[in-house]
C-alpha cells in the first residue's frame, strides 16, 4: 500500500510526499450514544486510509483517489462541498477546517488509497478525514493536538458530507492504541485504554455488502428525535442537557405520553448507555459471555426500538444467535447496511464462515464478505 502510493505520487507530482495512515474502526458496544453525550467503546483496526501529500507553492489543490481512478483539481479560495465525488469532500472538508481555524492553508497535492471498505460501517470517511488533517498539520507546522484534530475531522463530516455524526469515528481513528479499546466519555472527552482480552475469541466482521440510501438522512432524523426527547424532559427538569442525564423514569413521565416513537428512540439510547457501562465491567473481568449477551441486546434495540437495522443485518445476527461458539453479535455503526460485529471462538471461525457465506447468498442474493479484525494504533506518519 505504502509503496504503491509513493510510486504513484512521485510519478504524478515529481517529488517525495509525506505519507500518513489512518485506520477504520470497530465499536464493541455503545451505538448511537456518542451524539447523546454517552459512552462508546471503539478501537482502530488493521484497515486504513493512506494519504500521500506535499504542499505546493501556489493555491492549487490536486487530489487523486488511486483505487477509484478519479481525480479533481480546485483552488484554496474555491473550497466548497461537491455533490458528485464523496471522497473529495472528506479531504476538502478537512482542509477547509484549517482556514476556518485561522490557519494559513496553501495549495497541496494528495494521493489517496484505502482498504477500509466503503459503506461497511467501518468509518472509511473518518479515516480519510483524520489522515488529511494529520498530514496538513504536519506539513503546515500547525502544531495542533490530536484532540483538536479529532474535532476538525468531525466538522469536515458535518460541513462537507452533511452527516451530523458524533465524535466516535474520528476519535477512534486518531487515538487508537494497539490491542486496546477506548472507553470514551463523549460528554467530557475523558478516555481510558482498556486492554482487549478476548480469551480465545476473535472479532469477526460480516459485511452485508449493502448500504441503503436511507443511511445519512435517517441518521440526522434520529439525532433530531433524541433532541426532541431532551427538550420535553427539560421543560420540567431544566438541569438535563442530553440523553446522558435522562432516566427511564423521566421518559415515562415526560416523553411517553407525548410520543410513542420518540419514547422508543430515546429509551434505546438511555438503555444503551447503561448497557455499555456494565459491558465495560464484563470486559475487564474477562466475562466475554456477559458482554456478548449485551451485544445481542444492543442489536435487538437498534433493530426494534431505534430502527436503524435492515433485513440483511438482522439475518446475519439471527443466523449466529444460537451458535454456542458465537458469544455476541450485533449490527455496528450508523446502520442501514454495513457490517455485523461478532465475538467468535477462534477455532470455530472457519466452520462458521463456511456455513454462513452460502446461506447468506441464498437468502439475500448478495455476497457476504468477512474480516477478522485486529486492533491497531491510530493515525500515524508512515513515510
Ligand atoms: C456513525 C457516526 C458515529 C456514531 C455511529 C453510531 O458511525 O459517524 O458518530 O454515531 O454512527 O454509533
Closest by CA position to 127, among listed 328, 376, 383? 376
For residue 189, tell me if it sits in a domain.
yes
pLDDT number for residue 212: 80
334 lines ligand 1 (CB under 6 A): yes
What are 364's three cell numbers? 439475500
pLDDT number for residue 217: 86
* Domain, as residue range, for 44: 2-196+377-381
31 lines ligand 1 (CB under 6 A): yes
Pocket perturbation via mutation, ligand 1, pick of 44, 169, 184 by most ligand atoms within 8 A of CB: 169
For residue 183, tell me if it sits in a domain.
yes
93 lines ligand 1 (CB under 6 A): no
Distances (CA, A) of 56 to 21, 108, 137, 261, 317: 21, 5, 15, 52, 49
For residue 119, tell me if it sits in a domain.
yes
Nearest ligand 1 atom to the CA of 35 is 10
Number of domains in the chain: 1
Nearest ligand 1 atom to the CA of 126 is 8
Kindly give the parts of the chain with pLDDT less than 50.
none
Kindly report the average pLDDT of the chain as a whole number. 96
For residue 297, tell me if it sits in a domain.
no
Rounded CA separation 79/73 (Å): 10
Closest by CA position to 79, among listed 101, 58, 94? 94
pLDDT number for residue 1: 84
Question: What CATH number should be reported for the domain holding residue 103?
Answer: 3.30.230.10
Nearest ligand 1 atom to the CA of 166 is 9
Rounded CA separation 216/32 (Å): 13
For residue 302, tell me if it sits in a domain.
no
pTM: 0.96
For residue 205, tell me if it sits in a domain.
no
Rounded CA separation 47/370 (Å): 13
pLDDT number for residue 281: 94
For residue 112, tell me if it sits in a domain.
yes
How do residues 203-218 score in pLDDT, each as one tens digit?
A: 999 999 998 877 778 9
For residue 184, tell me if it sits in a domain.
yes
pLDDT number for residue 68: 93
What are 346's three cell numbers? 477462534
Amino acid at each position: 500500500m505504502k509503496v504503491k502510493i509513493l510510486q504513484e505520487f512521485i510519478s504524478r507530482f515529481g517529488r517525495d510526499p509525506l505519507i500518513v495512515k489512518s485506520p477504520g474502526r470497530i465499536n464493541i458496544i455503545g451505538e448511537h450514544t456518542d451524539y447523546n453525550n454517552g459512552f462508546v467503546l471503539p478501537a482502530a483496526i488493521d484497515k486504513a486510509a493512506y494519504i500521500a501529500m506535499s504542499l505546493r507553492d501556489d493555491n492549487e489543490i490536486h487530489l487523486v483517489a488511486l483505487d477509484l481512478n478519479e481525480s479533481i483539481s480546485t483552488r484554496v479560495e474555491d473550497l466548497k462541498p461537491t455533490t458528485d465525488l464523496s471522497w473529495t469532500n472528506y479531504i476538502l472538508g478537512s482542509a477547509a477546517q484549517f482556514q476556518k481555524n485561522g490557519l494559513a492553508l496553501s495549495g497541496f497535492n494528495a494521493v489517496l488509497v484505502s482498504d477500509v471498505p466503503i459503506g461497511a460501517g467501518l468509518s472509511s470517511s473518518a479515516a480519510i478525514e483524520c489522515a488529511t488533517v494529520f498530514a496538513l498539520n504536519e506539513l503546515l507546522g500547525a502544531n495542533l493536538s490530536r484532540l483538536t484534530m479529532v474535532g476538525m475531522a468531525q466538522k469536515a463530516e458535518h460541513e462537507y458530507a452533511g452527516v451530523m455524526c458524533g465524535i466516535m469515528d474520528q476519535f477512534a481513528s486518531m487515538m487508537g492504541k494497539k490491542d486496546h479499546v477506548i472507553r470514551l466519555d463523549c460528554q467530557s472527552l475523558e478516555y481510558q485504554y482498556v486492554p482487549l482480552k478476548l480469551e480465545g475469541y476473535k472479532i469477526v466482521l460480516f459485511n452485508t455488502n449493502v448500504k441503503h440510501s436511507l443511511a445519512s438522512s435517517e441518521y440526522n432524523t434520529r439525532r433530531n428525535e433524541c433532541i426532541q426527547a431532551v427538550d420535553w424532559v427539560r421543560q420540567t427538569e431544566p438541569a438535563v442537557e442530553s440523553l446522558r442525564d435522562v432516566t427511564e423514569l423521566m421518559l415515562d413521565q415526560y416523553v411517553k405520553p407525548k410520543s410513542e416513537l420518540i419514547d422508543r428512540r430515546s429509551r434505546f439510547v438511555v438503555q444503551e448507555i447503561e448497557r455499555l457501562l456494565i459491558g465495560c465491567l464484563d470486559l475487564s473481568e474477562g466475562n466475554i459471555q456477559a458482554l456478548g449477551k449485551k451485544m445481542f441486546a444492543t442489536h435487538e434495540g437498534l433493530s426494534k426500538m431505534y430502527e436503524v437495522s435492515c433485513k440483511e443485518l438482522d439475518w446475519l445476527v439471527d443466523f449466529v444467535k444460537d451458535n454456542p461458539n458465537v458469544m455476541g453479535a450485533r449490527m455496528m455503526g450508523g446502520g442501514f447496511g454495513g457490517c455485523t460485529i461478532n465475538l467468535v471462538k477462534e477455532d470455530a471461525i472457519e466452520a462458521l464462515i463456511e456455513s454462513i457465506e452460502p446461506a447468506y447468498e441464498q437468502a439475500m442474493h448478495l455476497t457476504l464478505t468477512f474480516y477478522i479484525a485486529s486492533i491497531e494504533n491510530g493515525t500515524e506518519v508512515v513515510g
